Amino acid sequence: MSAASDGRPSERQRAGAAMGRELSERGRSPQGGVVSAASDDLRSTADSGDVQDTAEVFRGTASGATRLRDERSSDGSDQQRAIPAFVLGEELADLADHDDRIAVLTADLAKANRLNDFAGRHPDRFFNLGIAEKNMITVAAGMAASGMVTYAATFASFSALLGCEQIRTDCAYPHLPVRVIGHHSGMSMGFYGTSHHALEDLGIMRTIADLTVVCATDANHLRGVLRASVDHPGAMYIRLGRGRDPEVYGDVPDVRFGEAIRVVDGGDAAIVATGSTVHPSVAAAQRLRAETGAAVAVYDMHTVKPLDTGAVAAAARTGRVLVAEEHNHTNGLGTAVVEALFDGGHHDVRVRRVDVPDEHVPIGPPAALYAHYGLDADGLLAALRQLLDTYT
């Protein structure tokens, strides 16, 4: 019961309200202030009238203090003109120029996911279903059953979590060519809180039979994923970040689902990463090599299902494996890699996992959250050092 029987606020509500007022005055999060250490700097920056580079803040590469609030970030579309990485609509429009089967659907988010780029060029094959994500996925399945190849995009928290039943029953079970795109995944919607975070999606999606699960790494990789997806059999879940992803691939790679890409060579240890963690993994490996000479391989495990067990075996031959993912500790890439190591008989490999523990994350800028959970280059470098030092 949320309130006292006489209509007055309960003791719990009064305590919560008091905490809210205190935190509002102190300007930090309830979990202990992930960004509170820089609170003085944040206030001074705001007072000075300087505008933070939110493109860097949201992709997790900002240096210095990051403010908790920016008036331009209300709907996720605040800096479209400065976001070259979000190429979803543009690439789908290019593909649709040569393939009449392609149709695109969204749930009132054409600005945030840049599908307005597609709508402008192919208005007859663009469908905005409004804030009705489950319905959007079912409509996409119906269109796919009629011969279309459909791409249905919304926030990952609403596609994979809210639309799980529709993805399983309407898309994967009948083996239809529906590509459910979950953008703004993980903690990239940091300011918006738990309702908009998607740290469980890979765990849910990888348990659905006949569903391919893929994470895009950067803009060029996303182009490769979309190109490879057109004729891929069956349903797919494609996980994207916020569209401000730092570059890993200078050119569009040849993406083959189920085959990881080794982006850095090395034999002293290996990092298996996916999506947003690939870039900081490369940076951590490069820094460690510059400092110590240790050569650490980095694998972009873009396909979480089916997993490239051959790449896992290659990583295991180094004797030390670090798995990095922007996902809950349970049932994501780390779990899949450990399962593959065990099933493959690689029982003597030292494994360390860097991910999000089984908790609801604090509210704050993504850059601060990545640092808090050790998912930035500094955190992964520290994890690598520990892995190498402990088991040398």
Q: Using CA atoms, how far apart are residues 296 and 391, in angstroms rounded to an integer?
A: 15
Q: Using CA atoms, how far apart are residues 257 and 189, in angstroms rounded to an integer?
A: 27
Q: Using CA atoms, how far apart are residues 146 and 177, in angstroms rounded to an integer?
A: 10
Q: Name residue, tokens 């994207």.
A: 240
- Cis geometry, peptide bond prior to residue 362 (ω within 30 degrees of 0): no
At residue 313, the 3 state secondary structure works out as helix
The angle formed by the CA atoms of residues 341, 343 and 344, to the nearest 5 degrees, is: 65
* Tokens standing for residue 326: 């922007």
Phi, psi of 345 (to 5 degrees): 80, 20
pLDDT at 65: 44
pLDDT at 191: 85
Q: Using CA atoms, how far apart are residues 320 and 339, in angstroms rounded to an integer?
A: 16
Q: Using CA atoms, how far apart are residues 41 and 365, in angstroms rounded to an integer?
A: 15
Predicted model pTM: 0.80
pLDDT at 390: 62
Each residue's pLDDT, cut to its tens digit, for the chain (392 residues) gives 333 334 444 444 444 444 334 333 433 333 333 333 223 332 233 333 333 344 454 444 555 444 444 444 434 443 333 334 579 999 999 999 999 999 999 999 998 899 999 999 999 999 999 999 999 999 999 999 999 999 999 999 999 999 999 999 999 999 999 999 999 999 998 889 899 999 999 999 999 999 999 999 999 999 999 999 999 999 999 999 988 789 999 999 999 999 999 999 999 999 999 999 999 999 999 999 999 999 999 999 999 999 999 999 999 999 999 999 999 999 999 999 999 999 999 999 999 999 999 999 999 999 999 999 999 999 999 999 999 986 54
For residue 97, the Cα-to-chain-centroid distance in whole angstroms is 28
pLDDT at 243: 80
Say if CB 301 and CB 307 are below 8 A apart.
yes
Q: Which residues contact 24 (CB under 8 A, 6 or more apart)?
A: none
Say if CB 241 and CB 186 are below 8 A apart.
yes
Kindly tell me the burial class for residue 2, based on how many C-beta atoms sit within 10 Å of its own C-beta (0-12, 13-18, 19 or more): exposed
* Tokens standing for residue 54: 């939110």
Say if CB 245 and CB 339 are below 8 A apart.
no
Q: Using CA atoms, how far apart are residues 211 and 59, in angstroms rounded to an integer?
A: 28
At residue 11, the 3 state secondary structure works out as helix
pLDDT at 312: 98
* Residue 16 φ/ψ region, left for φ over 0, alpha for ψ in the -120 to 50 degree band, beta for the rest: alpha
Question: One-letter amino acid identity for 183?
Answer: H
